[in-house]
Amino acid sequence: MDGVLVVDKPSGLTSHDVVAHARRSIGVKRVGHIGTLDPLATGVLPLVVGRATRLASLLSAGRKTYEGCILLGISTDTYDATGTITADARDRMGTGLVNAPNPAAIERAMAAFVGTRPQRPPPFSAKKIRGVRAYKLARRNQPVAPDPVEVTVHSAAVLAVDGTRVRCRVTCDPGFYMRAFAHDLGAALGCGGCLETLRRHRNGAFDLRGAVSIEEIDSRGPAVADRMVPLAELLPELPRLVLTEHGARRARHGNDLTVADVVSSSADWASSAVSSGAATAKLYDGEGLLIAIAKADAARLLHPTIVLV
């Protein structure tokens, strides 16, 4: 019960609800999630189980890919379709916009978001303002203006335009809010906008292939462990170092290691990576058990930073 279970989250549940389902069904208390999804959203929600919870900070660093539908003409306080309407630019019939942007204008506006730029998180978010979560202040009808955060968008494409609805696909780094993106796109087009639907297709190394449903978790219970990505297979991009018995014993206690403690490696870490002083590696014992994550320095020393046993 150590690894990552990728869940295809349904709409209507919070990320914490999914964690609670998993804890109850598989009988493991140490369960967390990587990358929060709003209740409105569906798609990839990786759950870290058992000792894998120690790796959450490393596993959450990858890019994310979303497909969403943005509803133009309506602005809400939550920046999505579940909120209270604060501005409405639709015509009297409610089926179109008074001054509708054409598809070419929408594509130009969306392309402007690609790159690294500041983004102000939504008022209803977990960002803290003077030590208080923004959503708590918003629920009290207090003024909420979270500080802008630098975010990176690698690609943003219009998939289809159907009346006031814009279907898009966005690949971004962690920290990017799709709700804020929908709101800002509407503002850039001069008509307002909010996020109507959202589905996450990828979160770092995890995608929808092999994802399990809530129903499968509930029905199979502990047997769902056969769908889990094992601890030893996580973070495949990091060099794999197999330690001597003495080295494994030192690593389990968080002690520094030298080249003499390494039996074999999957990369030339001792020459190129270590000399840079910024290498990170996975440490295994002789039986193939992942026991620690370590950083290497220019002095050819390995410093265990996360111990898993």
Check whether residue 130 and residue 185 sit in a common domain: yes
Residue 171 belongs to a domain: yes
Domain that holds residue 120: 64-195
Q: Which of 120-129, 137-146, 257-266 has the lowest mean pLDDT?
A: 137-146
Cα gap 185→108, rounded to integer Å: 10
Check whether residue 8 and residue 97 sit in a common domain: no
Check whether residue 69 and residue 191 sit in a common domain: yes
Has residue 25 got a pLDDT over 80?
Answer: yes
Q: What is the phi-psi region of residue 34: left when phi exceeds 0, alpha when psi lies from -120 to 50, beta otherwise?
A: beta
Check whether residue 114 and residue 181 sit in a common domain: yes
Q: Which of 18-22, 93-97, 159-163 has the lowest mean pLDDT?
A: 93-97
What pLDDT does 53 receive?
A: 93
Mean pLDDT, range 32-40, rounded to an integer: 91
Check whether residue 71 and residue 173 sit in a common domain: yes
Residue 274 belongs to a domain: yes
What pLDDT does 6 receive?
A: 96
Check whether residue 26 and residue 11 sit in a common domain: yes
Residue 7 belongs to a domain: yes
Residue 200 belongs to a domain: no
List, as one string, the DSSP characters of the chain.
--EEEEEEEPTT--HHHHHHHHHHHH--S-EEESS---TT-EEEEEEEEGGGGGGHHHHTTS-EEEEEEEEETEEESSSBTTS-EEEE-B-TTSSSBTTPPPHHHHHHHHHTT-EEEEEPPPSSSS-EETTEEHHHHHHTT----PPPEEEEEEEEEEEEEETTEEEEEEEE-TT--HHHHHHHHHHHHTS-EEEEEEEEEEETTEESTT-B-HHHHHHHGGGGGGGSEEGGGS-TTS-EEEEPHHHHHHHHTT--B-GGGEEEESS-IIIIIHHHT-EEEEEE-TTS-EEEEEEE-TTS-EEEEEE--
Check whether residue 15 and residue 109 sit in a common domain: no
Has residue 55 got a pLDDT over 90?
Answer: yes
In this predicted model, what pLDDT tens digit does every residue of 56-97 receive, in sequence order? 989 988 899 999 999 999 999 889 999 889 888 876 655 667
Pair of tokens at residue 127: 């960002």
Has residue 45 got a pLDDT over 80?
Answer: yes
In this predicted model, what pLDDT tens digit does every residue of 277-307 receive, in sequence order? 457 889 999 898 999 999 887 666 889 999 9
Has residue 276 got a pLDDT over 70?
Answer: no
Mean pLDDT, range 18-29, rounded to an integer: 92
In this predicted model, what pLDDT tens digit does every residue of 188-218 receive, in sequence order? 999 999 999 999 999 999 999 989 999 999 9
Mean pLDDT, range 140-158, rounded to an integer: 82
Average pLDDT for the chain: 87
Look up residue 176 and give its amino acid: F
Q: Is 38 a catalytic residue?
A: yes
Instruction: Kindly name the residue from 8, 38, 261, 285 that is annotated as catalytic.
Output: 38
Check whether residue 191 and residue 72 sit in a common domain: yes
Check whether residue 68 and residue 189 sit in a common domain: yes
Has residue 138 got a pLDDT over 60?
Answer: no
CATH classification of the domain holding 47: 3.30.2350.10
Has residue 129 got a pLDDT over 80?
Answer: no
What pLDDT does 132 receive?
A: 56
Check whether residue 291 and residue 224 sit in a common domain: no
Mean pLDDT, range 134-154, rounded to an integer: 71
Has residue 262 got a pLDDT over 80?
Answer: yes
